[in-house]
Amino acid sequence: MSTQMERAKNGVITTEMRTVADKEGLSSEEIRLRVTAGSIVIPANHNHTSLSPEGVGLGLKTKINVNLGISPECANLESELAKVRMALDMKAEAIMDLSNYGKTIEFRHRLIEMSPAMIGSVPMYDALGYLDKKLEDITPQEFLAVVEQHARDGVDFVTIHAGINKETAQHFRQTSRVTNIVSRGGSLLYAWMELTGQENPFYEYFDDLLDICTKYDVTISLGDACRPGSIADATDGAQISELIVMGELTQRAWRRNVQVMIEGPGHVPLHEVVTNVQLAKKLCHGAPFYILGPLVTDIAPGYDHITSAIGGALAASAGADFLCYVTPAEHLRLPTLDDVREGIVAVKLAAHAGDIAKGIPGAAEWDRKMSQARQDLNWEAMFGLALDRGKPERYRKESSPEHQDSCTMCGEMCSMRLMNRIMDK
């Protein structure tokens, strides 16, 4: 079977393109043209039969991703599946399986079977446990075999840190960083390169990786191994040198009709967020930009869902296409169910704020309906329009006013109530 990009280039409008067009309110032909150009991707593995396809990229609604997965410290498969169900209930468009321990295949199979959302993974995380080898004993062919296992299972996109080659690593060594390499996959590959003296296998054997992606129509999400882990390290030489390599790999993938996303930085001061989006779009030829956060300050452990939402809203307004959620537990622990909910709400707020700024059709209309419901003092309509209905409904019940056409904040001095009475005369 051919890939979405190959069929788009051949003038074919696929079922997935039609589905995306219907969701976005655009023509199928416009979707096809943007898939051809690489400015949008439709991650849709042939083996993910429960998928409801989504488009990510230029002119489309900003999508969100939720990270989940089992680890050595928290290997409870059922608790992670509960988070999956919550993410799906809250309409997350993507879930990334970051499992790195235990029943990774079982978890991935159940996730893909139940999920209409697109599924991503980082095969590098799974390699050590899957192969049961020391890092330095793993061969390039074995790394690729793990990628193919994920693709065969039905993963729609894979994060591959192919941009940290020997040249990029040299730039990193010459850069005095506060937090070195904070990407888990990137640090593993850098360590493998240092231990073996070999080139990054995903860079050296990139054509073999493209063979796998072509076979299953898996989208490559080019991971940013050198993303900054502190605002002091943002937009430095290591990050930019890797971004240049990612741009070269993007064009190589497109020539093979493999769809590509570019992953973006983690910690970026507010005044550099727009610059980072523009650099990624320019150096990577307009490929969709998938960004973690960015977190605009380093001082708020326990509240990083807020710091990332600030950066995410600005990034989305500047053209970022896909936001990865950050939970209050970031840097501290594996997130609980409540942490996941808080993270999803924060990132959805950021995505929606960005969509308003980008002029995405229908985005501002949602806000207009909420404003009208507020003016009408229509509480049920407000709850129905709320991003997360449960919390405002609970607040209203916990503090019930004497008059139902007001709240306990203003009571009889409610401006909406007063203006409705005066304007209705």
As a whole number of angstroms, the distance between CA 123 and CA 254 comes to 21
Report which of 279, 169, 162, 139 is spatially closest to residue 220, judged by C-alpha positions: 162
As a whole number of angstroms, the distance between CA 240 and CA 230 comes to 15
Place of tokens 């990407």: 183
Which residues lie across from 261 on neighbouring strands? 221
- Residues comprising the binding site for Zn(2+)? 267, 331
- Residues comprising the binding site for [4Fe-4S] cluster? 407, 410, 414
Main-chain dihedrals φ then ψ at residue 284, nearest 5 degrees = -110, 20
Contact between 329 and 67 (Cβ < 8 Å): no
Q: Which residues, 6 or more positions from 146, have their beta carbon under 8 angstroms from its beta carbon?
A: 123, 124, 126, 127, 130, 131
As a whole number of angstroms, the distance between CA 328 and CA 306 comes to 8
- Residues comprising the binding site? 67, 96, 125, 161, 183-185, 224-227, 263, 267, 290, 331, 407, 410, 414
Q: Which long-range contacts (CB under 8 A, 24 or more apart) does 238-244 make?
A: 238/168, 238/171, 238/172, 238/175, 238/177, 239/265, 240/279, 240/283, 241/167, 241/168, 241/171, 242/163, 242/164, 242/168, 242/171, 243/163, 243/279, 243/280, 243/283, 243/284, 244/283
- Residues comprising the binding site for substrate? 67, 96, 125, 161, 183-185, 224-227, 263, 290
∠ CA 249-251-252 to the nearest 5 degrees?
60
Place of tokens 């051809």: 36
Which residues lie across from 94 on neighbouring strands? 65, 118
Contact between 314 and 270 (Cβ < 8 Å): yes
Tokens encoding 369:
């309906």
